Amino acid sequence: MSALGHYLEEEGLATVAIALIRPQAENTKPPRTLWVPFELGRPFGPPRDPAFQKRVMLTALRVLERDDGPVLIEDFTDDDPRSVPDPAWQPPFMAAAVAAGPGDSLASRLEAEILSLQGAHQRWMAQYRRSTVGLGGLAIADCARYIGDWLRGQEPPSPRDGFSAPLMLRFAVDDLKAFCLEGATAGDARPSSRQLGDWFWNETATGEALHALRAMLLTHSDERLRLIVSNFIVPAARVRPG
């Protein structure tokens, strides 16, 4: 988007970019930029905080009023107000031991855990009436079963016509992550993203299953599958060393 700003400005359209990575903005030198100190994926700050998000947008728009370029990078001065853990938040269930074990055992715990989260996710839906679950077009139990079959070493075919098995694996993983994190944030508490990430990746069978799935498929003969599992199953910040 920073590079695109140059082309739009050449056509007479004033632009302002919101940058999450300041060195990148410094290198691409867009005409106007607001740098924000938030994590990737949250350019306007935390979810469910429209007042704060409005402040970010208004600050960005005010950069358009400046004429002291040709390159402007303004810093947003406030940190994400949700970066501090919420002591009122509790996980939606008490996670069982999540030590890695045989693929079949881990797959079974993943499938059982997703079933146990359905009540929490129903509360999320009643509260917000929307969801990002559904990318793969499968019921959430079928997503868990599909990933479970991969963990069991079965390499199942794609359950949908027109979609390859590696792509469906990615979609199923994305749906499971969204399902778990939405269910975990139902209610009034507002956990920080680190709280949620620590819970999901360190304390749930689902998180442990995705770690195991990535490790298992990184050496697969299918190059497309290796690309997907190396980049899209576990976030880079959560990949375990070695």
What is the pLDDT at residue 128?
93
Confidence grade of residue 241 (pLDDT, cut at 50, 70, 90):
confident
**Residue 91 or 6, more confident:** 91
* CA separation for the pair 213, 224 (Å, rounded): 15
**Per-residue pLDDT tens for 120-171?**
999 999 999 999 999 999 999 999 999 999 999 999 999 999 999 999 999 9
pLDDT exceeds 80 at position 6: no
Taking the CA atoms of residue 26, residue 31, residue 35 and residue 41 in that order, the dihedral angle to the nearest 10 degrees is -100
Quick one: average pLDDT of 182-188?
A: 93
What is the pLDDT at residue 1?
62
Q: For the chain, which residues make up each domain, given as ranges?
A: 2-75, 103-238
Q: What is the DSSP string of the chain?
A: -HHHHHHHHHTT----EEES-HHHHHHH--SEEEE----TT-TT-STT-HHHHHHHHHHHHHHTT--S-SSEEEE--PPPTT-S--TT---SS---------HHHHHHHHHHHHHHTHHHHHHHHHHHS--S--TT-S-HHHHHHHHHHHHTT--PPPSSTTS-HHHHHHHHHHHHHHHHHHHHT-SS----HHHHHHHHHHH-HHHHHHHHHHHHHTT-S-HHHHHHHHHSSS-GGGPPP-
* CA separation for the pair 205, 96 (Å, rounded): 8
Rounded to 5°, angle at Cα 101 from 100 and 103: 110
What is the pLDDT at residue 18?
92
CB burial of 10-29 (b: ≥16 within 10 Å; e: otherwise) equals eeeeebbbbbeeeeebeebe
pLDDT exceeds 50 at position 97: no
**Per-residue pLDDT tens for 32-65?**
899 999 888 889 988 888 999 999 999 999 998 8
What is the pLDDT at residue 132?
95
Question: What percent of the chain is modeled with pLDDT above 90?
Answer: 64
Which sign does the torsion angle of CA 64, 67, 72, 77 carry? negative
What is the pLDDT at residue 101?
55
Q: What average pLDDT does the structure give for the chain?
A: 89
